[in-house]
Amino acid sequence: MKDPIITNEELVGDISVFKEITGKVDSFKWETAYRELGQSQSEQKQRAKLLGESEDKYRRLVETTTDWIWAMDLEGCRTYSNPAVYPLLGYQVGEVMGAYTFPPMHSEDEQPIREMIKHCIEQKIGWQNFRIRRWHKDGSIRSFESTASPIMNAAGKIEGFSGIDRDITERKREEAALQAAHDQLEQRVADRADELMRVNDALRTEITERKREKAALQEAHGELEQRLAARTDELVRVNDALRTEINERKRVETALQAAHGEREQRLADRADELVQANDALRTEVTERKRIEASLQEAHDRLEQRVADRTDELVRVTDALRTEIAERKRVETALQAAHDELEQRVADRTDELVRMNDGLQTEITGCKEAEEQRQHALDNLQQTIGTTMRVMGSAVEIKDPYMAGHQRRSAALARSIAGEMGLSQDKIDAIRMAGSIHDIGKLSIPTEILLKPGKLSEIEVPLIKEHAKRGYEILKDVESSWPLAEIVYQHHERVDGSGYPRNLKGDEICVEASIMAVADVVEAMASPRPYRPALGIEAALEEIEKNRGTLYDKTVADACLQLFREKGLHLKWLD
């Protein structure tokens, strides 16, 4: 027998009483049953009250949230919608309820969402952060990020989906603006790099041309000095020849003068002889009367001979005088030629002095040009430094987790180099290379750089490519430092297990060995998208454990000494 239990005019249960064969009912059992029934009724009221409060809270939460919360069956019919659909898409709840694939989607998204829903129904799963574009009632497009869970019945079959759509239109607009700004920055960096390449090529061409001009000037100066020396030797030889010829002519003139004096003495002696002969003839005129005719004839012949001889002596004397005059003329001409030669030598000397002064002026100009070139190179070095900082900033903008990493790594590498006693030039090279050692990451997609989980087998080689990409960006930069090679080698290891070229031992330059240790210490001590910071002690243990295997012993010892003995802190490097 069943009796209904009614409370506040509402059926809340029933009670069944079973009669024993004997027909007797125990009154105690009735009292116990009614008491338990009263307690059960009180508990049901309490649960109903709590359930009502929970439903009120849930309903207020669902109806006041700014996200669109909805439910639909397997046919795509909306079975629930919260009021947020109106401010988000301009539709009232009544317009959405009972509608199929409503509010309307962008035509390009319809097929992907159908395939995704079909897949979720087959797998009995939901979806997460699926992006959908829907038409607003005013005709505009709104972007949503949709997340849904399956609705399962008691039999474990899927009956529909309940989900929440979040409006990401503004976020997408901001992402597009950021992407545009990023693309513009990358273009400006590329343009600036191209401009620097052009300036570098122009400077390199100008330096080559100046070197060629300098070599030509030096060659011309050497040739001029050689020609001047040859001309000077030739003038000395000519001058010596002239002096020899003048001395010879003076000797000949002296000999002629001596011969002329001897000839005049002989004529004088002959005249004396004639006078003596004439006196003898006069003395003997009486004796020689008998031979007067013969003597007269002989005398006449003698006189004729004397006359002839006298004429001959006169002619010889005139000839000697003419020759002496000619020799004096020649001597005068030689003296004039000598004076002219000395004047030409003096003029040539003045010309050579002027040419030498001109060469000195040109050499001074070359020195000034060299100083200007050095000044231009210094300006270029400063420009390169500024560009490197800009490019380093571009890397940090692309990968926020890298913010400050290059700067701190460069500062730590510089401290290690100083501790090792390297030259200032090498320290400057390490500082500059360290500030842009990850510049190759500009070529790596941002979604890979910022991926929070483990990289795939395809993504790992892409990350490792950044060292080679950095080398290709820097290899043509005009610099006295091996910046490109340092960036290329900073992931190489002593035992050859590094990348990208598997260099080992002395094949790795000391600057890259220092950069490798600084990069590992700073990276382990700082957070990354896929892990929190490991701390400086873990980083130092890594360096100490692998010194001589992965890391250069001298570099590792210098790094450990800086932190453990000299108290260096990473925060000092900012």
Residue 483, pLDDT score: 92
For 385, the token pair is: 């430094």
Which parts of the chain have pLDDT scores under 50?
A: 1-3, 5-9, 11-12, 15-25
- Decide if 42 is inside a domain: yes
Give the C-alpha distances (Å, rounded to integers) separating 287 from 275, 282, 295: 19, 10, 11
Cβ atoms of 467 and 491 closer than 8 Å: yes
Q: In this structure, are 290 and 377 located in the same domain?
A: yes
Q: How far apart are CA 382 and CA 389, in angstroms?
A: 11
List Cβ neighbours of 499 (8 Å cut-off, separation of 6 or more): 464, 467, 491, 492
Residue 151, pLDDT score: 93
Q: How far apart are CA 447 and CA 74, in angstroms?
A: 34
Q: In this structure, are 9 and 155 located in the same domain?
A: no
Other beta carbons less than 10 A from residue 395's beta carbon = 23
Cβ atoms of 437 and 490 closer than 8 Å: yes
3-state helix, strand, coil in the chain (%, to 5): 70, 10, 20
Q: In this structure, are 346 and 210 located in the same domain?
A: yes
Q: How far apart are CA 265 and CA 267, in angstroms?
A: 5
Q: How far apart are CA 490 and CA 444, in angstroms?
A: 18
Residue 270, pLDDT score: 67
Q: What angle do CA 58, 63, 69 make, to 5 degrees?
A: 90
Residue 177, pLDDT score: 86
Which domain CATH number covers 567?
Answer: 1.10.3210.10
Structural domain boundaries, residue 526: 399-573
Q: In this structure, are 455 and 466 located in the same domain?
A: yes
Residue 527, pLDDT score: 84
Q: What is the pLDDT of residues 199-234, one digit of tens each?
A: 888 888 888 888 888 787 778 777 777 877 777 777
The number of distinct structural domains making up the chain is 4
Q: Is 525 helix (H, G, I), strand (E, B) or coil?
A: helix
CA of residue 529 relative to chain centroid, distance: 29
Q: How far apart are CA 468 and CA 53, in angstroms?
A: 64
Q: In this structure, are 374 and 358 located in the same domain?
A: yes
194, 122, 127, 222: which is closest to 165 by C-alpha?
127
- Decide if 182 is inside a domain: no
Q: In this structure, are 542 and 438 located in the same domain?
A: yes
- Decide if 391 is inside a domain: no
Give the type of residue at 548: G
Cβ atoms of 430 and 414 closer than 8 Å: yes
Across 307-428, where does the E strand assignment appear? Answer: none
Residue 134 pairs in a beta bridge with: 105, 142
Give the C-alpha distances (Å, rounded to integers) separating 190 from 183, 195, 287: 10, 9, 141
Q: How far apart are CA 434 and CA 47, in angstroms?
A: 67
Boundary of a domain, candidates 351, 381, 411: 381
Q: In this structure, are 131 and 274 located in the same domain?
A: no
Cβ atoms of 127 and 150 closer than 8 Å: no
Boundary of a domain, candidates 381, 413, 440: 381
Q: What is the pLDDT of residues 100-156, one digit of tens each?
A: 666 788 889 889 988 999 999 999 999 998 999 999 999 999 999 999 999 999 888
- Decide if 386 is inside a domain: no
Q: Is 456 helix (H, G, I), strand (E, B) or coil?
A: coil
List Cβ neighbours of 136 (8 Å cut-off, separation of 6 or more): 89, 90, 142
- Decide if 174 is inside a domain: no
Q: In this structure, are 20 and 78 located in the same domain?
A: no
Give the type of residue at 318: D
Q: What φ, ψ does residue 5 adopt, rounded to 5°?
A: -115, 115
Q: How far apart are CA 109 and CA 390, in angstroms?
A: 40
Q: In this structure, are 351 and 214 located in the same domain?
A: yes
Q: How far apart are CA 56 and CA 266, in angstroms?
A: 169
Length of the chain: 574
Q: In this structure, are 410 and 519 located in the same domain?
A: yes
Q: In this structure, are 82 and 30 located in the same domain?
A: no
Q: In this structure, are 375 and 348 located in the same domain?
A: yes
